[in-house]
Amino acid sequence: EKLPKSGPERLEFFQQYFEDKDDLLARDAYDEFAKAPYDVVQSLKAKLKHDQLVGWIQDLNVSTSRRRLYLTLLGVCGVPADLPMLETMIKSEDRKQRAGLDALLACYLLLKGPEGLPLVEDLYLSNVKAEYADTYAAIMALRFHGNDVHVIAKPRVVQSLRLMLNRPNLADLVIPDLARWED
């Protein structure tokens, strides 16, 4: 069987090796997905192994970079029943539970839509006690939604990012986005 040079068929082949015992093979599989355009990954929706992804996301021994990938893939193939698990992770005090927070929030918002923004805003954007890394992760998730996916209308993404203007020491993180989106 000849491996396709690119496209969804190639990715479909590699997903079976994500957590392979052969580290080199697992790394190659990860790299294939990491360099794939998001629209190609989205085209794999029906072929993604949802339950396997959920298992790996819940496994705290999976590396953060791989967890990020699995969350990105869950954002493509996830279902509303995944939301309680994601919300629990987002609200967790355990840093390992929140590992890959940018991808965790992006995935959550893909599945929850604009109704998920109040949680992200309360925990990370308007909360002055939120850690810088967590706030930055929330901004990255919203940037992804503003640029790459259209689950949440851009004006609503802008409304969330504007909350950062109330935090002058961090406002510079969102001003380029707001300017680019002509806010």
How do residues 124-152 score in pLDDT, each as one tens digit?
Answer: 999 999 999 999 999 999 999 998 888 99
Q: Would you state the structure tokens that stand for residue 165, as one six-digit string?
A: 């203007």
Please measure the distance between the N-terminal and C-terminal CA atoms of the chain and give it in whole angstroms: 52
- How far is 165 from 161, CA to CA, in rounded Å? 8
| Residues, the chain | 183
Does residue 4 sit in helix, strand or coil? coil
Spatial contact of 87 and 119, defined as CB atoms under 8 Å apart:
yes
Span 34-89, pLDDT tens digits: 999 999 999 999 999 999 999 999 999 999 999 999 999 999 999 999 999 999 99
pLDDT at site 1: 60
Q: What amino acid is encoded at 62 in this protein?
A: V
Span 92-126, pLDDT tens digits: 999 999 999 999 999 999 999 999 999 999 999 99
- How far is 112 from 19, CA to CA, in rounded Å? 28
Which residue bears the tokens 């021994």? 61
